């Protein structure tokens, strides 16, 4: 058994890498390497010109109350109170001129059952149909081992077009960022099972009141620095080379093990040259989808009917009202999932179309004073049918431990998946080193 305090490198300071480093800091000497100027990965504050907005992130992230095994645990470790960072709101589904309901103040599953029975703009027969389909989906999750696409399952259930457009498609796009024709029904069930189906509190929205840098990235770096970690921002790492004694050399320094927590499309440049083809192929076969975030600031207050207002037939999919968060009430944030699968618009045209959607709810609004459009072209890996996690035994044997949201065995590529993956890589690493 190895009792020496190991020397560990964490490559990548996104949420997975930060989580791994935080998990390891009391048990190992940590060096954190990040090629960019700031930590946070694909969930970070946008540095530089803010165009007068209260803050800008590289995407509008909406978390769930179910995120307590990952994100909320990480925040506790680094001394950030979720209450100060997020506004917690009961799940409220609000589609403009469409399905509208809010979970009831009852334990699960009654919170959802009663909420849907009280829904607006939906006939009683369609309410019963929606509840019947949800019940059937729970039974499917419990008894079927073979995965299939969400679209195929919906066809077997003869889901009406109105429910498809006002509930199932927005749900799948928002949760999985994957078109229905490719989206995994199994992964969708995992999200629902651990969220809205499990207990009422797990279905709550956690809406960020601060930029993502202040919520996790900056406090995590401060925590790591305080506990002795060496932090190397704007530092690129070349191919991982094995030292003669089996340890790993990084930029001329020798480490006992490495957590590899970079985006999957950067992994190939770092893997040892003798890495088996099947591992490289697994990374190269991943598919990605984009998310576009549109920030708009108006001269007057925007009065939206719900904190999150959805559109079943608009360019905008979800509009977040920042006034609800205690931020300026003249700012809104629009989320467009799978934006690579929609018609490509120039920024000016996209802004006009999004503004036109908002005017459907707020007809008195003048044109926005400022607009900022941010598209993450590879925001998430696709949550497709029968995704099989690569066998990393070869890498583990060589003391390399991949981590990232795309590697979670049950969830789509979310912040919760990233944090849990970082924790899991850290635990696997320490377990392996302990018995060498």
What's the whole-number mean pLDDT along residues 367-388?
93
Which pLDDT band, with edges at 50, 70 and 90, does 435 fall under? Answer: low
**Per-residue pLDDT tens for 24-45?**
999 999 999 999 999 999 888 8
Q: What is the pLDDT of residues 77-118, one digit of tens each?
A: 999 999 899 999 999 999 999 999 999 999 999 999 999 999
Once rounded to an integer, what is the mean pLDDT over residues 134-160? 96
What was the pLDDT predicted at 48?
67
- State mean pLDDT over 257-286: 93
Token reading at 96: 């403009």
Q: Which residue has the higher pLDDT, 366 or 387?
A: 366
Determine the Cα–Cα distance for residues 181 and 161; give it in Å rounded to an integer: 15
Q: Which residue has the higher pLDDT, 37 or 435?
A: 37
Per-residue pLDDT band for 145 (boundaries 50, 70, 90) equals confident
Residue 428: C-alpha distances to residues 30, 222, 270, 399, 423 (Å): 16, 25, 20, 10, 9
Q: What is the mean pLDDT of residues 1-5?
A: 67
Query: For residue 190, is pLDDT > 90?
Result: yes
Q: Is the pLDDT of residue 1 over 60?
A: no
What is the tens place of the pLDDT at every residue in 221-265? 999 999 999 999 999 998 898 888 889 999 989 999 999 999 999
Give the pLDDT of residue 386. Answer: 75
Q: Find out whether 103 and 91 touch, Cβ atoms under 8 Å.
A: yes
pLDDT in tens, 198-226: 889 999 999 999 999 999 999 999 999 99
Q: In the 3-class helix/strand/coil scheme, how is the chain assigned residue by residue?
A: CCCCCCEEEEECCCHHHHHHHHHHCCCCEEEEECCCCCCCCCCCECCCCCCCCCCCECCCCCEECCCCCCHHHHHHHHCCCHHHHEEEECCEEEECCCCEEECCCCCCCHHHHHHHHCCECCCHHHHHHHHHHHHHHHHHHHHCCCCCEHHHHHHHCCCCHHHHHHHHHHHHHHHHCCCCCCEEHHHHHHHHHHCCCCCHHHHCEEEECCCHHHHHHHHHHHHHHHCCCEEECCCCCCCCEECCCCCEEECCEEECEEEECCCHHHHCCCCCCCCCHHHHHHHHCCCEEEEEEEEEECCCCCCCCCCEEECCCCCCCEEEEHHHHCCCCCEEEEEECCHHHCCCCCHHHHHHHHHHHHHHHCCCCCCCCEEEEEEEEEEEECCECCCCCCCCHHHHHCCEEECCHHHCCCCCCCHHHHHHHHHHHHHHHHHHHHCC
| 348: pLDDT strictly greater than 80 | yes
User: What pTM was computed for the model?
Assistant: 0.95
Q: What is the dihedral of CA 57, 58, 60, 64, to 10 degrees?
A: -90
> Please, are residues 252 and 258 in contact by the beta-carbon 8 Å criterion?
no
Average pLDDT of the residues of the chain: 94
* Tokens standing for residue 139: 């039974």
Mean pLDDT of 371-385: 95
Tell me what the mean pLDDT of segment 278-285 comes to.
90
């Amino acid at each position: 058994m190895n009792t020496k305090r190991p020397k560990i490198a964490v490559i990548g300071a996104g949420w997975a890498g930060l989580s791994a480093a935080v998990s390891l800091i009391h048990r190992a000497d940590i060096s954190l390497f990040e090629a960019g100027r700031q930590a946070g990965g694909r969930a970070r504050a946008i540095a530089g010109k803010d165009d007068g907005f209260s803050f800008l992130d590289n995407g509008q992230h909406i978390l769930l109350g179910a995120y307590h095994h990952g994100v909320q645990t990480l925040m506790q470790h680094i001394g950030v109170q979720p209450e100060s960072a997020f506004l917690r709101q009961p799940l409220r589904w609000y589609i403009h001129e469409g399905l509208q309901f809010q979970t009831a103040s009852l334990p699960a599953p009654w919170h959802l059952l009663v909420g849907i029975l009280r829904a607006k703009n939906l006939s009683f027969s369609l309410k019963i149909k929606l509840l019947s389909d949800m019940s059937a989906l729970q039974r499917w999750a419990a008894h079927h081992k073979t995965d299939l696409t969400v679209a195929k399952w919906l066809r077997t259930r003869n889901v009406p077009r109105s429910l498809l457009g006002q509930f199932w498609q927005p749900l799948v796009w928002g949760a999985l960022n994957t078109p229905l024709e490719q989206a995994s029904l199994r992964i969708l069930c995992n999200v629902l099972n651990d969220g809205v189906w499990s207990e009422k509190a797990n279905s709550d929205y956690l809406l960020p009141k601060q930029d993502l840098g202040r919520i996790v990235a900056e406090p995590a770096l401060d925590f790591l620095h305080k506990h002795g970690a060496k932090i190397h921002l704007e530092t690129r790492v070349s191919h991982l080379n094995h030292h003669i004694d089996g340890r790993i050399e990084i930029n001329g320094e020798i480490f006992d093990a490495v957590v590899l927590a970079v985006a999957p499309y950067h992994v190939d440049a770092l893997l040892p040259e003798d890495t088996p083809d099947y591992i490289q192929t697994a990374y190269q076969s991943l598919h990605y989808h984009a998310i576009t975030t549109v920030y708009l600031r108006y001269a007057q207050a925007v009065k939206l009917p719900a904190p999150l207002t959805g559109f079943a037939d608009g360019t905008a999919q979800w509009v977040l009202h920042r006034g609800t968060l205690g931020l300026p009430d003249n700012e809104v944030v629009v989320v467009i999932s799978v934006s690579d699968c929609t018609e490509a618009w120039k920024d000016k045209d996209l802004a006009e179309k999004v503004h036109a959607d908002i005017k459907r709810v707020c007809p008195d609004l003048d044109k926005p004073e400022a607009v900022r459009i941010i598209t993450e072209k590879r925001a998430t890996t696709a949550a497709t049918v029968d995704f099989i996690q690569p066998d990393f035994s070869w890498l583990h044997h060589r003391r390399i431990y991949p981590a990232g949201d795309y590697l979670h065995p049950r969830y789509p590529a979310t912040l919760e998946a990233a944090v849990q993956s970082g924790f899991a890589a850290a635990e696997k690493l320490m377990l392996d080193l302990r018995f060498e």
